[in-house]
Structure 1
């Protein structure tokens, strides 16, 4: 390799590192803002004692706003739909938190689930960033996990099997953890170049992780 080729390679590497740093900065800034906004909406939802919207409204709102955000991801309107999406999830979280807070030791359950969620997210993100490992091999596991969990969730509406809900919650903990590793790695290695989509993926993973840990801890607390 001659001097010109080495200079070109180093220049390309510097540009790539700058792009990755910018993507990380934009993603985690937007993630922090959407988490704060979602928490505020959840607090309002709890304070007003709003009812849970129901499974149909929740699914329509979730996938409708997700589809809208995906379509608008390359425009400024994508930011608006991102906050609408995360705000909607915050609204659905309010009634769930009120239900848990009404339980004996409900405050401790919510606090523990929140603390564990933060610990898992930051630990997995730090590991992916520091190790610089490529976790793209998890794509097959994530796809298979999504299908299995979807079937299990649908089955839970029709059959009552002891321990199924706990198994689903445990499955979502593993699934969400894998997605966090995969998405963080994708940002590092160029598998994701849109900070809005990266933010949405991480937000949904954190949301599912929190709800799953809440379900598991609440079940053991109930016992």
Structure 2
């Protein structure tokens, strides 16, 4: 009976068990966001780390940074999904948050510089983008949680979309052209679809003990949305 219970998706649980799972997932998501802010702050207190991150944005080195981030993402997801060891779940989430914080250094550094020059407040653009991101994330999550609609059909669309986006990023780096505003808009739409998909996964496909993995998936989509909303705000 215990094995059957472990294999049960959240959608098959009683209402109180579902609510408990959702609370755990979103609590861990909030903790991941807070940890991201703390780690980012620590990184910016270490000039060597900031300089190293910025140095990786030059030419083909950005591809190395992107490749390292994708490797860390894949490894963290496997740790959170394919083991029953809770310690590895948390280690996977921690690894992913640190990787996100590192790859965000150049974008946040440039955003702070632009904001400082425009209004004298280095956090202005970050605050605006953060509010917009949380508003969109909350609205998209509510759609899934209230309607209980299964958005698993988005998986193939998102896969194709991300491969196209990766190809455009590679081409942009190799041939030296700017992807422009419309690429960022397209990525915001892709990130929105990812949020719908990940929230639907949380509701329909995860098991009761996989709340850390569920929070990691939601965090990844949230940060992707924040990246491109911030990129759009920086163009204004």
Question: TM-score per shorter chain, which class?
Answer: 0.7 to 0.9
- 1:63 and 2:78 matched: no
Give the unaligned 5+ runs of structure 1: 1-12
- 1:41 and 2:39 matched: yes
Indicate if the aligned counterparts of 1:38 and 1:91 stay in contact, CA closer than 8 A: no
The corresponding residue for 1:98 is 109
Deviation at 1:160, TM superposition (A): 4.4
Cα shift readout 1:132-176 (whole Å, capped 9, x = no counterpart): 2222222222122112111111111123446x2323211210111
Q: 1:84 aligns with which of 84, 88, 95?
A: 95
What number of residue pairs does the alignment pair up? 206
Q: 2:41 & 2:104 partners in 1: Cα distance?
A: 9
Greater CA drift, 85-94 or 58-67 = 58-67
Q: 1:66 & 1:22 partners in 2: Cα distance?
A: 27
Greater CA drift, 178-187 or 130-139 = 130-139
- 1:196 and 2:212 matched: yes
**Runs ≥4 in structure 1, deviation > 4 angstroms?**
none
The corresponding residue for 1:26 is 24
Deviation at 1:179, TM superposition (A): 0.8
Give the unaligned 5+ runs of structure 2: 1-10, 57-61
Alpha-carbon RMSD: 2.2
The corresponding residue for 2:59 is none
Of the two structures, which has the highest relative contact order with CA contacts closer than 8 Å and spacing of 6 or more? 2
**Larger C-alpha radius of gyration, 1 or 2?**
1
Question: Relative to structure 1, is the Cα distance of residues 23 and 61 closer, same or farther in structure 2, using a 3 angstrom cutoff?
Answer: farther
SS of residue in 1 equivalent to 2:123: helix
Q: 1:208 & 1:187 partners in 2: Cα distance?
A: 18
The corresponding residue for 1:7 is none
Question: Relative to structure 1, is the Cα distance of residues 84 and 140 closer, same or farther in structure 2, using a 3 angstrom cutoff?
Answer: closer
TM-score by length of 1: 0.82
The within-5 A match list for 1:1-223 is: 15-49=13-47, 50-51=50-51, 52=53, 54=56, 55-56=62-63, 58-73=65-80, 74-75=84-85, 76-103=87-114, 104-105=117-118, 107-161=123-177, 164-188=179-203, 190-193=204-207, 194-220=210-236
